[in-house]
Amino acid sequence: MNEIRLIVDSSSNETEQTNRNLKVVPLKINLAGKDFVDDNKIDLPSFLEELSQTTEAGKTACPSLQDWLDALEGAEKAIIVTMTSGLSGTYASAMQARDIYCEQNPTSKVIVVDSRSAGPELSIILERIEELLQEELRFVDLEERIAQIRTKTHLLFILQSLHNLAVSGRVSPAIVKLASLLHINVIGQASKEGTLEQLAKARGSKKAVKELVKQMKLEGYHGGRVIIDHCENKVDSERIRDLLIEEFPFAQILIRKTRGLCSFYAEQGGIMVGFES
C-alpha cells in the first residue's frame, strides 16, 4: 500500500521527505510583528534569536483549510496525523479539508488522526503507520489499527518556561504559577484529552532529567523506540539518552531539534520525549 500519502503538521518537528511520501503542513508564528511559516525554509537560528529577544507576546495560527487541501492535492489515499485537538484548531481544519476534498474527489479516501499530542509522539505514530503499510491491509481497517498504535505511544516533556503557553491560555494557571519560580522545571505529559498535565517538578535540570526517565518507566517504557526533540538543549537530551541506554542497551533513540512551532511553545531548554510502552 505504498501509494498512500502521509501528511503531518509542523508540530511534529518533521520535514518533508519525498522518499517517505511525507508532506508537512506548516503552522504559522507571529513574533514581534514578523510572520514565520514553520516549513522547510524557516531560518531556525534567526527565529530562535528573535524568540529570545522579543518581549512582546507572540502568537501562532493553525494551518488553513487551503493549506491542507494543497497537501492533499492529487492523492487517491492519504493519512493525516495532526497535533492535539485539545490545544489547537489544526485537527478541526484538517477534518474540514478532508470533507471538502472527498466531496470533490469521490473516489479518494482520507483518514485524519488526532494524535492528542505534539512533537515526537507524532513521529512515532508515523513510523508505526509506515510499518502497517508494509502489511497487506485494507484501507478501511487502517483506522482501527492506528487507534491500537495510539494506545502505546506517549509524550513526556520538561519545560523550563511556560510563558508562551500561559500567555496563549494553553496551560492552567496553577501550573503557570509553579513554573514562574526560579530554576523550577515542570515535568509533564500529554494527557488522554491531549492537554498539558503536570506530573512532577524538579529544581535544576539534572533532577528533571532523572524524573522524566522515572516517569517514562512508570508509563511502561521498557526499551522501545524513543525520539527526543529539544529546543537548544542537547546536553539534557543526551543525558536522557544515556540514562535510558544504561538500563535498556538496545533502545533505539533519536535526538532532533524542535522546529518553529514547538520551539515557540517548549521555549529555550524545553525537551519533548515521544516513546512507546
Binding residues vs ligand X90 (CB under 6 A) = 27, 60-62, 84, 87-90, 117-118, 155, 157, 170, 190, 194-196, 262, 265-266, 272
Task: Say how far apart CA 199 and CA 215 lie, in whole Å.
Answer: 8
Closest approach, Cβ 174 to ligand X90, in A, equals: 16
User: What does the alpha-carbon distance between residue 32 and residue 234 come to, in Å, rounded to a whole number?
Assistant: 27
What's the rounded Cα separation, in Å, for the pair 231 and 75? 34
Q: Which is nearer to ligand X90, 79 or 261 (CB)?
A: 261
Alpha carbon of 57 to those of 31, 33, 34, 177: distances in Å?
Answer: 7, 10, 12, 18
Distance in Å, CB of 249 to ligand X90, minimum: 28
Q: Closest distance between ligand X90 and the C-beta of residue 59, in Å?
A: 7
Closer Cβ to ligand X90, 60 or 185, answer by number: 60
CA dist 139 → 6, 126, 130, 246, 272 (Å): 13, 16, 13, 40, 31
Based on CB atoms, which residue is closest to ligand X90, 75 or 155? 155
Least distance (Å) between residue 87 CB and ligand X90: 4
Look up residue 68 and give its three cell numbers: 491542507
The nearer residue to ligand X90, 8 or 272, going by C-beta atoms, is: 272
The rounded distance, in Å, linking the Cα atoms of 138 and 6 is: 16
Distance spanning both ends of the chain, measured CA to CA = 27
Distance CA 161, CA 180 (A): 7
Report the residue closest to ligand X90, judged by CB. Answer: 88
Taking a C-beta distance cutoff of 8 angstroms, is the pair 31, 263 a contact? no
Q: Are 60 and 34 in contact (CB under 8 A)?
A: no
- Closest approach, Cβ 41 to ligand X90, in A, equals 19
Distance CA 29, CA 241 (A): 30
Q: Are strands 34-37 and 226-230 parallel, antiparallel or unpaired?
A: unpaired
Nearest distance, CB of residue 155 and ligand X90, angstroms: 6
Nearer to ligand X90, 75 or 190 (CB): 190
* Residue number, 155 or 208, with CB nearest to ligand X90: 155
Write down the least CB distance from residue 240 to ligand X90, Å: 15
Choose between 26 and 194: whose C-beta lies nearer to ligand X90: 194
